[in-house]
Structure 1
Amino acid sequence: MTTKSAMEWNLGGEGWELKGFWPWVPLKGTSMEIGNELMGVTDWMSATVPGGVHHDLYRAGLLANPYQDLNSLQAEWVENRWWVYRKKFRAPSHASGTMQLICRGLDYEAMVYWNGALLGEHKGMYEAAAFDVTDHYRAEEEVELLVVFKQAPDEMGQIGRTSETFTQKSRFNYKWDFSTRLVNVGIWDDIVLAAKGAYSLGELSVTTDVQDESGQGLIRVESSVERNGRAAGESEAAADSPAVIVKLYAPDGALSQTKRIVPDDAGRARCTIAVEAPLLWYPSGYGDQPLYRVELTLADDAREYDSRSLRTGIRKLEYMQNEGSPADALPYTFVVNGRKVYVKGANLTPLDHMYGNVTDERYSWMARLAKEGNLNLLRIWGGGIIEKSALYDLCDEHGILIWQEFIQSSSGIDNEPSKRPEFLPLLARNAVAALKDRRNHVSLTVWSGGNELMSAPNVPSTFADENLAMLRELVRLHDPGRLFLPTSASGPVQYITEERGVSHDVHGHWKYMGNPDHYRIYGQADHLFHSEFGVDGLSGVKSIRKFIGEAHRKPVPMKDSLVWRHHGEWWDTFDRDTTLFGKMTMLSLFADCSQWIQAEGLRYILDANRRRKFNNSGSIIWQLNEPWPNVTCTNLVDYYMEPKMAYYWVREAFRGRRASLDYARLDCSAIEAMSLPVYVATDGESAECLVCAEVLDSAGAVLHGQAFQGCTSPDKTLLLGSLSFQAPETADGLFYVRLTLTVNGEEAEQSGTPYIFSTRPAPIYAPALSIAGGKLAAEALGEWVTDSMDSATTDDAVHARDYAVKNTGDRVLLHVYPIERADLYWTQASDAYFTLFPGEERIVRVTCRKRTGELFAESSTSAADDAQGRPRIEFVYFNAAAAANTYP
């Protein structure tokens, strides 16, 4: 987080108004023919800054909830109007001679007026618009600030021609497979008024390293010093002799070092601070994330002109080719402080269509879900946005590496990077702005030219492309210590293939590929890196009820429902799930089954990739989240921040210590001879491991047991042996394989979610729908306690409580998880969607944070929280609604 000096006033917050007009009307004001005032398409209404027009219209009652049913279709007029933001304020007093108005989030094409005077025009979301208002400024004067937005540009959504891209506007807004068409317009980031003295600090670069020989930490600081003109009463001597005072504070807050730097003739101040025995920053799962504070003050003997402060971590970042990598492959293995890091990542979409309205609290909870989900990398995708600084601060704190893409993406008809003459300079300016700002985050690990850019079908673009060559040079100039990849996937083929020896960094697939095809495709793949892939699954009923009207809440294929199609057309799982489970008429059951197969499909892909560590250097799941509520999607966490079953199974697959099973299909014949390889991985450590494997039936009887032992290495997944047995004949045709891992004599934190197989003909999982006899009991242990995790979380914002969850029946309970019935809290559990056999008990910690900052949110239940204002937690399980007949 970078903070500025005190002479800066944030103009966001209260006092803004908004009004809509037909195009060009704000510039004319009156009719040429009759002279009447042209009043606009709305009256003045209260506005939110930062924010967006759509939510302000909704709050004013002029727009129906665009996230409900088909309502977004009736909101598409918004992008085709001009919108005027207005704020009246009293100009603050100040003692310096230069005043700047800095608009960091104009979306997209705007004209800015100060008391009727046009300050200038601006086009582009990511480069700040800075206007010198010194000549207009009068202290204590009433100011009317107007920001006039033209209609949104007619850019392409997911389908179109990349070669014709001409803007730097976020493209997912124009329709993507996980979103609708709601094109944001408004002030989406801060707008500030800055007072500058004779000198000020300009662009800042803070990078860190570790010396190989001595182990010293190095913090390299470089800042420009800008001359703004002498303030009244300032002497020539004072104006000509400022220095930059750099102070370094240790992670515990103690002042560590102070340096005084005199800028050179070019106005650059540079220094390197050596730190003895530094506390090193590691990605999550590999160590801690201590952050040092660097404070810069520009001053002479008489006065202080400017100051800045930021936090950084000391770490050495390197890149190397994968083991067994072809000579021409790019380096896909990230090395931090000499340790190879296996990437456990997810792609991040914008948190909301209305990204200007995303609060720090929503960023904070999403970062928490990422860390608690055992993710160590987020890919900020090129079809979305360059996120607000709050997210990068949180990733610095939590040890989540950032893969940052520039704002470019494939378009289906052609995917070639645009070289339009108006586009390349715009791309360059926005890229430089992003580079200069984001390079100071220790979590930033790799830059990419964009998403799925291809010079020909299935052939990713390379640095030979003029567009990408330009970006590589900009990265070299402004952030030379970090890797730049031309695109994701970076090839030499785009998509995962069963052909061997041709896959480096690949994408795909995004569906469960069927039984047994899914297991053949991923089990035999040999790609070096898997930077995008996914499996689709329904949201939970609790969420679906918020945005789908009651008439549409029944299982249907997408072809039979316009409403369902509008909320996830690409991700129809109806045929897949009925093939595996049989006919379903209840929405709750359909959601349970769909989430099961999503979780199963992702778990297998992650385990298959990890078995080849570091020949394969990691997995980045598509996708962690979604910016609009879908009935079904490839996300792990739905729009309302409800983690799906896949989130918890992914978390288990990404544990630092992990035992896993390999298999070729989900079904087999009774008494068929089975031989299933057993693997174990321990990230970053060598350890003695014991894996106990059990084959069980639905009554919890152990039908076969086998133990495996071995010593792991930090950088390899170890094959311990094969679990060999005859597929049992069970009463319901199902059997379960559960692995329990012990590391160095202590049981690892592995939930033991079993692998579930069937000996029945299709639909092979139909017996799971009729399992009866399990009884779920959950008892709260103690009271709610506070649980703070990051700098954006207040001490009393997050609550946690332990529960003893037990199966008191005589049959298995599948996929047990907590649900917050009041619908007033975001919820995350230490364990969820686990299996309890008869008599088994598990202690689960449930963590909750009050829902805040959600847009268009309407509770799915009328229940209130308890008298103490705490969450109402209930544990449920697979097909529980059918068993209790609680949902129609």
Structure 2
Amino acid sequence: MEINLNDKEWELKGFWPWVPCKGTSMEIGNELMGVTEWLPATVPGGVHQDLYKAGLINNPYVDLNSLHCEWVENRWWVYRTQFQKPIIEPGDKVEIVFMGLDYEAIISMNGTLLGEHAGMYEPAVYDITELLGERDMVELQIVLKQAPDEMGQIGKTSETFTQKSRFNYKWDFSTRLVNVGIWDDVLLRVSKGYSLEEIALHSDVTTDGHGVIRVAAGVRNHHAGDSAETLDYADVRAELEVTGPNGDFVNSIQVVLDKDGFQFDIPVPTPQLWYPNGYGEQPLYQVTIRLLQDNKLLDQRVHHTGIRKLEYRQNEGSPVDALPYTFVVNGVPIYIQGANLTPLDHLYGNVTRERYEWMVHLAKQVNLNMLRIWGGGVIEKTYLYDLCDRHGIMIWQEFIQSSSGIDNKPSQKPSFLELLHKNAVAALKTRRNHVSLTVWSGGNELMSEPNRPSTYEDSNLSHLKSLVEQYDPQRLFLPTSASGPVQYITREKGVSHDVHGHWKYEGNPNHYSLYGEADHLFHSEFGVDGVSGVKSLRKFLSLQHLTPVSMRDNLVWRHHGEWWDTYDRDAELFGHFESLSQFSDASQWMQAEGLRFILEANRRRQFQNSGSIIWQLNEPWPNASCTNLVDYYMEPKMAYYWTRNAFRHCHASLDYRSLNAAAGEWMEAGIYLHQASESCEVAVEVWDTRGSLLFSQLFDTVLQNASVTKLGNVRFVVPHTYNGLFIVRLGVTQMNQVTEYNDYFFSTNDQEIYRSALQLEGAQLNVQAQDEWSYESLPGGEIGSVLVRSYMVTNEGHEAALHVRPEERTDVYWTSADDAFFTLLPGESRQVKVTCTKRNGELFVAENSASAAHQWPDIVFTSFGSIQASDKP
């Protein structure tokens, strides 16, 4: 039985280092009162949010405020609470379990020291049975020492010495804001003599198509201490029961125990198989494990798992020495459509379940089937893995190690290796039971020499490999990401297996020749940067900073994304920006354009290339510009929706090498069709921005058993248009219905090639709601129902409306759409379904007023270059 202590009345107080251990002055005997009074505290949570609620710090996400919060990491913080003594029977054992202490703690109960603990991911567990005494109320105190001074992004990996999340110490998408707090659950665990330990659960499919759920567990005898020779299980048995996805009974068995516990296969005839998102459904079976003694329930664990066969293969045409980068589920090769996940917040202890749920919702809606949980962040809370199990999002899990720039060699410090071992074992024992977990990695960008990823020969990584083989032998362990043999994407042929890079738009035409002609086997990290939307910028930039600007010239912009300054890039392509919204729109356009080309180029080589993992899905604090698809406030950027299209199951793409061409010359580009499940046709059309059709060609295709088919080349004379712009549109028609439009934007201009796009003033959007707001179920989490509404958007003007998208104006809701950032030529219409749910758990924001909390969403549609209401002071 577990009793959650999160909801108790917790308090927090700050002190100078060591003061909580002393209490009074040695010299004058006075009480040492601390740097704060006792404050209400949130568990799980972090010190910063509690200080903000108490008015002791300003919002650290605004302007340069985080610089004024760096004192927080340098104090000691004391948490305290009281809880009622649990009702127990003679022979019961009571343990207190801290699932996540960040980072180094001294733990006391009723004034007695329980112990000290260091490390975020290994639970701190203490037997408190004898200490409970006769009191009804138990006093608990946790002293958290100041945060260790670990490496940020720039430093020496060989000198790292903790298992603390390193992005907190400054990364290219974050600031220095080092979390301190109780970041995961605090539990009481009551055991009745015996308990289940170290459960290992995984599934498989036999050659004849039947399912198997394999369960192994240790059993602990709390009466006998740790001496295995004294254990007696004669009257103790385990009962395993499996129920199906619809709650129907599937199978049950009873198991006789020995001193090592038990291991057993449970057959599941004709199973419903679990597939990644986009390849099938995600039915989950419930596995209930009971420990019984004379029909008395001693312990019970409930797990949910999918049944699937997981394999790894080398890519098509792969060199013989390459690692297997093709993931195969139930015999089906899965092309990886992934993104890297950073922690959802700098203060990761305060992330609510609703925030996790909406992020996974966004991941699923953008057609992802894998998240890489990056080694510079955190090993996420188990709820994220639960959600990925339910939604078919495979997990690439890294251990907590990352490059540091000055040197990137995995640390060999004995104290670090001991911590790494403990935290890795803890992660393996808990995360291995999730069907979504697909691959382990030793860490991020570990290199024993420049541009050469570390291998299994490194003793640090060799040890991690042995731990995976011991605790989770069904899954692949990759030494690092990228795994080489060279680290970064290159034009050199024959040397790229799994590579990283680049993270910038490489320029026109260089971007297209680099990625269009690459030969890497896997692309596990890359991206393109773009400015956040104006709606979000206004939340963390003061009024005087809401202007188009280069980060060279503005410290506040630099503080919120120094590496990702796109001003010069965008001005070169678009010219001068009259407003912040123009700058944001242009920057997001180039992010979307650059990223789409990489995704489509990789996908055109499927399965010679086995997948793309975008850097990055999200960000943990608000950046003015970043490589993310979704900003800190959960606002999807243009790149999010263009990624969604590029990852459609049935998708047509254009293979080109430049964004501009001289009028009157011939333009030729390849036409590709990706994973069509039935016969279809692809129409190639060339339009000007006044809606004149200048060229068309139809490509018929029949169903082929191929993941990608080149339909041929389109060749036409580059048109003379009134403003130098022309659009190449690919339309896919299946069963007499258009299922996709994919628009590519070209120019005949030599300089400021997209300047004319900012001068389009002839679009006029007419928006008609097709129904009222209604509630719709959002399965797989606790959000429950969401609000949905459909709109018909029509361009009644005489020029194209570029990149049309909805925006929710009350700011009470997170919002997504089934289509956004699309182009409407004059007279065209598009129906858009908008989904909204109440924002829940965002940090450092004012509470919604009662009236705002009951508002319906307010949806407006805008197009590229529009002066938005939120763009005005």
Give the shorter-chain TM-score range: over 0.9
Change (3 A) 1:134 1:554: same
User: 1:494: how far off?
Assistant: 0.1
Q: Does 1:854 align with 2:848?
A: no
Q: 866, 869, 872: which is aligned to 2:858?
A: 872
CA–CA distance in structure 2, aligned partners of residues 382 and 706 of structure 1: 48
Q: Alpha-carbon deviation of 1:239?
A: 6.7
Matching residue's letter, 2:692: A
CA distance in 2, matches of 1:218, 1:94: 38
Q: Is the 8 A contact 2:580 2:871 kept in 1?
A: no
Contact 1:546 1:857 (8 Å CA) reproduced: no
User: In 2, distance between residues paired with 1:764 and 1:603?
Assistant: 19
Q: Map 1:321-400 to 2 at 5 A.
A: 321-400=314-393
- For 1:12-58, what per-residue CA distance to the aligned partner results, in whole angstroms no more than 9, with x for missing partners? 12400000000000000000000000000100000000000000000
Give the C-alpha shift of residue 453 in structure 1: 0.1
Aligned to 2:525: 532
2:807 aligns with 819
- TM-score, structure 2 normalization: 0.98
| Alignment partner, residue 824 of structure 2 | 836
Structure 2 gap ranges (5+)? none
Change (3 A) 1:476 1:762: same
1:10 partnered with 2:4: yes
Greater mean deviation of Cα atoms: 459-468 or 784-793? 784-793
Alignment partner for residue 160 of structure 1, among 155, 162, 182?
A: 155
Q: 1:288-323: per-residue Cα shift (whole Å, max 9, x none)?
A: 000000001100224110000010000000000000
Instruction: Tell me the amino acid that sits aligned with residue 27 of structure 2.
Output: E
1:793 aligns with 2:779: no
Provide the C-alpha distance between the structure 2 equivalents of 1:748 and 1:313, rounded to a whole number of angstroms.
Answer: 35
Report the counterpart of residue 771 of structure 1 in structure 2. Answer: 760
Is this contact kept in 1: 2:354–2:783, CA < 8 A? Answer: no
Match of 1:192 among 181, 187, 190: 187
Find 1:619's aligned residue among 612, 635, 638: 612
Relative to the length of structure 1, the TM-score reads 0.96
Distance in 1 between residues matched to 2:256 and 2:73, nearest whole Å: 50
Paired position in structure 2 for 1:129: 124
The equivalent residue for 2:299 is 306
Equivalents in 1 of 2:802, 2:733: separation in Å? 24
CA change 1:370–1:336 in 2 (3 A) is: same
Residue 887 of structure 1: CA displacement? 3.1
Could you tell me which residue of structure 2 aligns to residue 79 of structure 1? Answer: 73
Q: Quick check: 1:680–1:712 contact (8 Å CA) kept in 2? A: no
> In 1, are the aligned partners of 2:679 and 2:701 still within 8 Å (CA)?
yes
Partner-residue secondary structure (3-state), 1:67: coil
In the TM superposition, what is the alpha-carbon distance from 1:276 to its structure 2 partner?
1.1
1:546-565 paired onto structure 2 within 5 Å:
546-565=539-558
Match of 1:749 among 739, 743, 746: 739
Structure 1 vs Structure 2: percent identity of aligned residues?
Answer: 60
CA 1:368–1:537 in structure 2 vs 1: closer, same or farther (change >3 Å)? same
Is 1:501 the counterpart of 2:494? The answer is yes
What is the alpha-carbon distance in structure 1 between the residues aligned to residue 346 and residue 490 of structure 2?
33
Selected match of 1:63 from 54, 57, 65: 57
Quote how far apart the aligned CAs of 1:89 are. Answer: 2.0
Q: Secondary structure at the match of 2:158?
A: helix
User: What letter is aligned with 1:26?
Assistant: P
AA of the residue aligned to 1:42: T
Q: Contact conserved, 2:572 with 2:752, CA < 8 A, in 1?
A: yes
C-alpha deviation, 1:792, in angstroms: 2.3
Q: Distance in 2 between matches of 1:156 and 1:556?
A: 30
- The Cα shift of 1:717 comes to 1.2
One-letter code of the match for 2:774? V
Matched residue type, 1:29 = G
Q: 1:568 aligns with which of 556, 561, 564?
A: 561
> Corresponding residue for 1:4?
none
Q: Distance in 2 between matches of 1:316 and 1:674?
A: 46
Provide structure 1 residue ranges, at least 5 long, that are not aligned to the other structure.
1-6
Q: Which amino acid aligns with 1:857?
A: V
Please tell me whether the aligned partners of residues 493 and 504 of structure 1 are also in contact (alpha carbons under 8 angstroms): yes
Determine the C-alpha separation between the residues in 2 that align with 1:138 and 1:152: 34
Aligned CA distance change for structure 1 residues 84 and 669 (closer, same or farther; 3 Å):
same
Supply the distance in 1 between the matched residues of 2:319 and 2:525 (Cα, whole angstroms).
Answer: 21
In the superposition, relative to structure 1, how do residues 834 and 862 fare at CA in structure 2: closer, same or farther (>3 Å)? farther
Hey, what's the Cα distance between the residues in 2 that align with 1:163 and 1:715? 46
Equivalent residue, structure 1, for 2:682: 691
Contact 2:530–2:588 (8 Å) recurs in 1: yes
Contact 2:673–2:710 (Cα < 8 Å) also in 1: yes
Structure 1 residue 689: Cα displacement: 2.8
Q: CA deviation at 1:230?
A: 8.0
Amino acid of the residue matched to residue 336 of structure 1? Answer: V
- The CA distance in 1 between the partners of 2:270 and 2:233, in whole Å, is 39
What does residue range 98-117 of structure 1 map to in structure 2 within 5 Å? Answer: 98-117=93-112
SS at match of 1:328: coil
Q: Cα offset for 1:761?
A: 2.4
> Once the two structures are superposed, what CA deviation does each residue of 1:115-147 show, in whole Å capped at 9, x if it has no partner?
110000000000000001011013652211000
Q: Given the superposition, is the C-alpha separation of residues 43 and 622 from structure 1 closer, same or farther in structure 2, using an over 3 Å criterion?
A: same
Contact persistence 2:8–2:83 (CA under 8 A): no
The question of 1:290 aligning with 2:280 is answered no
Counterpart of 2:872 in structure 1 is 887
User: How far apart in 1 are the matches of 2:405 and 2:249?
Assistant: 54
1:433-832 superposed matches below 5 A: 433-682=426-675, 685=677, 687-711=678-702, 713-743=704-734, 745-747=735-737, 749-750=739-740, 752-796=741-785, 798-832=786-820
Superposed displacement of residue 267, structure 1: 2.9
The superposition leaves residues 657-699 of structure 1 with CA deviations (integer Å, 9 ceiling, x where unpaired) of 000001110001111101111000117x4x3231011000111
Q: 1:696 to 1:865 in 2, by over 3 A?
A: farther
Number of corresponding residues: 868
Distance in 1 separating the partners of 2:870 and 2:33: 56
Equivalent-residue separation in structure 1 for 2:127 and 2:417 (angstroms):
26
Distance (whole Å) between structure 1 residues aligned to residue 856 and residue 434 of structure 2:
36
Amino acid at match of 1:330: L
Greater shift, 129-138 or 823-832, is seen at 129-138
Secondary structure of the residue aligned to 2:388 is helix
Deviation at 1:711, TM superposition (A): 3.5
Task: Letter of the 1:122 partner, please give it.
Answer: H
Which whole-Å deviations, capped at 9, do the CAs of 1:340-367 have from their partners, x for residues lacking one? 0000000000000000000000000000
Check the 8 A contact 1:97/1:230 in 2, yes or no.
no
- Give the partner amino acid of 1:830: D
- Cα pair distance change 1:832/1:281, threshold 3 Å: same
Letter in 1 for 2:311: E
Structure 1 stretch 131-140 or stretch 582-591: which is displaced more? 131-140
What SS class does the counterpart of residue 552 from structure 2 fall into? helix
- Following superposition, the deviation at residue 795 of structure 1 comes to 3.5
For residue 170 of structure 1, the aligned residue among 165, 169, 174 is 165
